[in-house]
Amino acid sequence: MAGLTGHPVLEIGDKFEELQNNIFNNNKNKEVIDKAGLVVKGEENSNNNNNNQGGERDMAPPTSNSLHRSGSRPQLDLSKAAIQGNSEERDPTILLPNQSDDISHFALDIGGSLIKLVYFSRHEGQSIDDKRKKTVKEISNGSRRSYPILGGRLHFVKFETSKLNECLDFISSKQLHNGRIDSHYWNSEAPNKENAVIKATGGGAYKFADLFKERLGVSIDKEDEMDCLVAGANFLLKAIRHEAFTHMEGHKEFVQIDHNDLFPYLLVNVGSGVSMIKVDGDGKFQRVSGTNVGGGTYWGLGRLLTKCNSFDELLELSQRGDNRTIDMLVGDIYGGMDYSKIGLSASTIASSFGKAISDKKELEDHRPEDISLSLLRMISYNIGQISYLNALRFGLKRIFFGGFFIRGHAYTMDTISFAVHFWSQGQAQAMFLRHEGFLGALGAFMSYEKLGLDDLMVHQLVERFPMGAPYTGGKIHGPPLGNLNEKISWMEKFVLKGTEITAPVPMAPPGTTGLGGFEVPSSKGGTLRSDASALNVGVLHLVPTLEVFPLLANPKMYEPNTIDLSDHCELEYWFTVLSEHLPDLVDKAVASEGGTDDAKRRGDAFARAFSAHLARLMEEPAAYGKLGLANLLELREECLREFQFLDAYRSIKQRENEVSLAVLPDLLMELDRMDEEARLLTLIEGVLAANIFDWGSRACVDLYHKGTIIDIYRMSRNKMQRPWRVDDFDLFRERMLGSEGKKPRPHKRALLFVDNSGADVVLGMLPLARELLRRGTEVVLVANSLPALNDVTAMELPDIVAEAAKHCDILRRAAEAGGLLVDAMTNTLDGSKENCSSVPLMVVENGCGSPCIDLRQVSSELASAAKHADLIILEGMGRALHTNFNAWFKCEALKLAMVKNQRLAEKLIKGEIYDCVCRYEPAS
């Protein structure tokens, strides 16, 4: 074989092709292979899939219902929290992990207009024995639990108080009062609760106590309403990263609240009436003011004046209204002029409903839409002004508004924001909450003992946005869909017309409450009535095993996303990229499960669902919280998992790993013949060249259809001409090899964030890890917890390392020391096991299932491993360019990637596609 010195290219084409053919021909599954050696179509798992009837699958509950970040890690912990569910779902769901005690399972806030119910469901986490367990225990100093724990979710439902019987029916049908929900996931021997005591707040807790006892046999333990409101608000503001936001002139902007600097603030709860509460800390507050002009006033007067039948219908009317026909404006008084001397514009409302005095019209002569908007603005301005005056009274700059009057309604929030901004002359701002209506109910739920919710941290909450119900233009139409087959059936009824998505209006099944007591929207012609409730809240997963990466130089200033998607052109470009990649992704996902009819149905449903997400985000980029490219890519992966495509590139990864491992021994022998300096350059070139194998890149997918893997790798190595677009190799070489005859101190521990399967990890990162091990550096390979595209996962890496170790003493001894080879290899290369002392090679999961990584939420395994690390190597576009390119660390960092995206080349490094990035940064 030709040497790898000078400008190396692997000349192993013939040998590679022979090995590749042998591997594929001997494979038990008969796939059709394209000329790049990749699976196009197969019948894998066909027997299992064909046995499934009606879309039901003999497997664990879908991952959209429980965040299985790793089979070997405990799932969810009740001392931590997050949102799981459709972002458009009117009743969002919060996940609560680690609950093993038998608890009461629901709490209520029974107001004058609405009943808000929070209920808890739980499921058992799983613990899978794998080759990383020994490693994990060593890294974590034995502190990690190895037993299954119970976790669950918080669900949020609302009912009109006038329809209390529907609420009681719902509780009875779910068996919430007996603690039976999801009981097939619990200990079957757990006793059912009888004569349970449930927590409730609000006036209805007193008014309807006897009815709850009569209908359900439960006693109501009444919790103080203000206590619950404050407890619920404090929990959300401290625990959820994008809970609070401002809303001015239609623009939503999320505000990151430092939970250490949260207090004091003014909490304005707008229900039927309005309470204003000065909050100084957990459990420290006082009601300082209020007004009887609130949501009840708006609904009551609106019902009398417009004959609307529901609060939502009244809000919807306001969206089509023109208040100038009823309100007297400053311009009406001053001949169309501003009153600039006192800072009033001509469009400022001088008198709400003022024109009704002189226009000599009767009620029926006015449009209901105009009346609704005038009434809404009158009440909203009043609430905003009184709130600011109370904030001024106590010197508070931060005002949070909650309660079901606001309901995510743009006009309402804009009006309140305008009032606060106007009266404070821009010194104060109104902020709103995504879970605004459930503060009291959530606080009541938290009042149960032993929940452990008061220590929640933002990094332990993960928000997911499954397709919980069919929706059009981001609006929900119909009951939530929990069953996979139901979701697929609904998605099949969607009709795509460009970017517009329409669907028939579903009716609630007999005996159910549909949308929590609100009537199911009716179809009028070919259009659907929009939902006035526009707050987009997903489902909160509690993941206690997530931590902030301890090596971030400044966690508070850290922003993972390199690309700013608030730029509409940037957003449109990436949406186009994702849309164009979608057909290929669906093909791979369907092929990964044997191409069965069931897989095809799920693939089609996934495509429609993800297209609906993209359409919604194009309409309103802030719909799901602050949007970054990392969030967008993870949304795609979560959508795949929702339709039970657990690893769309599984077969492809296996083939690429086998082929790459077959040629690894020749590469290692060639590297060992080199001197130290040539070897280091060759290793870095190898990482950059192998990083070309990325199924997330459109350009690279095209390459796969033009040649074999080895052809692509050879082409990539030929492009390794220095200087690279970003070239800090000389600085890194000096740090590694020293200068002027001075040998540098070896690194103690290196974290290698690996990227793609196949050549990327086997021919790129493993040889680099081997070099560090040779120098006495502990190496931790950091990989995804869940599959994403063709990225290698932490569950797959031990097998890859074990295969590589068969041909290399260095890797074998390090893998044994790190616990990756649980059963020591009997046929070692040197024929003995006498000298097994070595620095360890370990594998940890990163805590995510995305091509990118947000270092504010990493696994506890990684956080523990990072504490003694002094070198970080981030590899790949997702981890080193799309995210973390601008991140600074407390230790040395090396960022390696090949640019495979035109926009990234143009915007980030001002280069071209296939340019290379080698960025070395000393410790901050």
Region 212-221: mean pLDDT is 90
Residues whose CB is less than 8 angstroms from the CB of residue 670 and which lie 6 or more positions away in sequence, other chains included = 1, 3, 4, 8
pTM value surpassing 0.95: no
Q: Which pLDDT does position 298 carry in this prediction?
A: 94
Long-range contacts, 43-51 (Cβ 8 Å, 24+): 43/594, 43/595, 44/591, 44/592, 44/593, 44/594, 44/651, 45/593, 45/594, 45/596, 46/594, 46/595, 46/596, 49/593, 49/594, 49/596, 49/598, 49/599, 50/596, 50/598
459 close to 857: Cβ distance less than 8 angstroms: yes
Q: Which two tokens stand for residue 430?
A: 């109104």
Is residue 613 pLDDT above 70, yes or no? yes
406 close to 380: Cβ distance less than 8 angstroms: no
- Among 62-76, 484-498, 591-605, the range scoring the smallest mean pLDDT is 62-76
Q: Which two tokens stand for residue 560?
A: 């993972």
Backbone angles phi, psi at 29, to 5 degrees: -85, 135
Q: Which pLDDT does position 541 carry in this prediction?
A: 63
Bigger pLDDT: 709 vs 285: 285
829 close to 809: Cβ distance less than 8 angstroms: yes
Residues whose CB is less than 8 angstroms from the CB of residue 456 and which lie 6 or more positions away in sequence, other chains included = 79, 80, 81, 235, 238, 239, 542
Strands 328-329 and 244-248, bridge-based pairing: unpaired
Q: Which two tokens stand for residue 519?
A: 């009537």
Kindly report the length of the chain: 924
Q: Which pLDDT does position 145 carry in this prediction?
A: 32
pLDDT digits (tens, 9 = 90+) for 794-850: 999 999 999 999 999 999 999 999 999 865 443 444 444 444 468 999 999 999 999
pLDDT digits (tens, 9 = 90+) for 236-258: 888 777 889 999 888 888 888 88
As a whole number of angstroms, the distance between CA 220 and CA 107 comes to 9
Fold identical between 98-223+434-461 and 244-326+366-432+508-533? yes
Cα-based distances in Å from 208 to 215, 228, 318, 339, 716: 11, 19, 33, 52, 73
Name the band, by pLDDT with cuts 50, 70 and 90, for residue 775: very high
Domain ranges of the chain: 8-97+562-642, 98-223+434-461, 244-326+366-432+508-533, 670-921
Strands 150-160 and 114-124, bridge-based pairing: antiparallel
Bigger pLDDT: 15 vs 311: 311
Q: Which two tokens stand for residue 65?
A: 């219902």
> In 3D, which of 629, 613, 636 has the Cα closest to residue 564?
629
Round the CA-based radius of gyration of the chain to a whole number and report it: 30
For domain 98-223+434-461, the CATH architecture is 2-Layer Sandwich (3.30)
Bigger pLDDT: 855 vs 27: 855
Q: Which two tokens stand for residue 450?
A: 């032993």
60 close to 126: Cβ distance less than 8 angstroms: yes
Is residue 69 pLDDT above 90, yes or no? no
As a whole number of angstroms, the distance between CA 786 and CA 802 comes to 20
Q: How many CB atoms lie within 10 A of CB 442?
A: 26
Region 7-12: mean pLDDT is 39
Q: Which pLDDT does position 828 carry in this prediction?
A: 41
Is residue 319 pLDDT above 50, yes or no? yes
Q: Which pLDDT does position 753 carry in this prediction?
A: 98
As a whole number of angstroms, the distance between CA 205 and CA 797 comes to 55
pLDDT digits (tens, 9 = 90+) for 77-128: 334 555 554 433 444 455 554 444 444 468 899 988 788 888 766 643 433 3
As a whole number of angstroms, the distance between CA 103 and CA 100 comes to 9
Name the band, by pLDDT with cuts 50, 70 and 90, for residue 290: very high
Is residue 472 pLDDT above 90, yes or no? no
Bigger pLDDT: 309 vs 183: 309
Residues whose CB is less than 8 angstroms from the CB of residue 159 and which lie 6 or more positions away in sequence, other chains included = 114, 115, 117, 166, 167, 170, 513, 516, 517
Q: What class does CATH assign to 670-921?
A: alpha beta
The helix or strand, by DSSP H or E, that contains position 540, with its residue range, turns out to be strand 539-542
pLDDT digits (tens, 9 = 90+) for 35-53: 222 222 233 333 333 333 3
As a whole number of angstroms, the distance between CA 577 and CA 894 comes to 28
Q: Which two tokens stand for residue 567?
A: 């730029």
Which stretches of 335-367 are DSSP H helices? none
Q: Which pLDDT does position 345 carry in this prediction?
A: 77
Q: Which two tokens stand for residue 214?
A: 């009569």
Can the peptide bond before residue 665 be classed as cis, meaning omega within 30 degrees of 0?
Answer: no
As a whole number of angstroms, the distance between CA 589 and CA 583 comes to 10
The helix or strand, by DSSP H or E, that contains position 153, with its residue range, turns out to be strand 150-160
Its sign, for the CA torsion 78, 79, 80, 81, is positive
3-state percent breakdown (helix, strand, coil) of the chain, nearest 5: 40, 20, 45
The helix or strand, by DSSP H or E, that contains position 279, with its residue range, turns out to be strand 274-281
Q: Which pLDDT does position 721 carry in this prediction?
A: 84
Reduced to 3 states (helix: H, G, I; strand: E, B; else coil), residue 598 is helix
Q: Which two tokens stand for residue 9?
A: 């290219």
Region 525-553: mean pLDDT is 61
Find out if CATH 3.30.420.40 is the number for domain 244-326+366-432+508-533.
Answer: yes
As a whole number of angstroms, the distance between CA 152 and CA 154 comes to 7
pLDDT digits (tens, 9 = 90+) for 624-633: 778 888 889 9
Q: Mind giving me the DSSP string for 636-676?
A: HHHHHHHTT-S-TTHHHHHHHHHHHHHHHHHHHHHHHTS-H
Bigger pLDDT: 860 vs 178: 860
SS3 sequence of 364-426: HHCCHHHHHHHHHHHHHHHHHHHHHHHHHHHCCCEEEEECCCCCCCHHHHHHHHHHHHHHCCC
Its sign, for the CA torsion 441, 417, 471, 542, is negative
As a whole number of angstroms, the distance between CA 276 and CA 267 comes to 6
Name the residue with tokens 């620095």. Answer: 839
| Beta-bridge partner residues of 254 | 245
Q: Which two tokens stand for residue 577?
A: 């990229």
Q: Which pLDDT does position 60 carry in this prediction?
A: 34
Name the band, by pLDDT with cuts 50, 70 and 90, for residue 159: confident
Region 174-184: mean pLDDT is 57
First to last CA, the chain: 44
The secondary structure of residue 292, as a DSSP letter, is: S
Region 326-335: mean pLDDT is 84
Region 274-290: mean pLDDT is 94
- Among 424-438, 507-521, 681-695, 763-777, the range scoring the smallest mean pLDDT is 507-521
Region 445-470: mean pLDDT is 65
> In 3D, which of 869, 921, 873 has the Cα closest to residue 749?
869
Q: Mind giving me the DSSP string for 425-474?
A: TTS-EEEEETTGGGHHHHHHHHTSTT---TT--GGGEEEE----S-EETT
Q: Which pLDDT does position 621 carry in this prediction?
A: 83
> HSE (CB half, 13 Å, CA atoms) of 558?
21
Q: Which two tokens stand for residue 852?
A: 């990118």
Q: How many CB atoms lie within 10 A of CB 568?
A: 10
> How large a percentage of the chain has pLDDT more than 90?
38
As a whole number of angstroms, the distance between CA 352 and CA 325 comes to 11
Burial of 520 (0-12, 13-18, 19+ CB in 10 A): middle
Q: Which pLDDT does position 730 carry in this prediction?
A: 96
Q: Mind giving me the DSSP string for 458-525?
A: GGGEEEE----S-EETTEE-SS---SHHHHHHHHHT-EEETTEEE-PPP-PPTTS-TBTTBPPPPEET
As a whole number of angstroms, the distance between CA 845 and CA 149 comes to 19
Average pLDDT, the chain: 75
> HSE (CB half, 13 Å, CA atoms) of 835?
5
pLDDT digits (tens, 9 = 90+) for 636-661: 998 999 889 999 999 989 988 998 89
As a whole number of angstroms, the distance between CA 155 and CA 164 comes to 18
Strands 841-845 and 778-783, bridge-based pairing: parallel
Is residue 555 pLDDT above 80, yes or no? yes
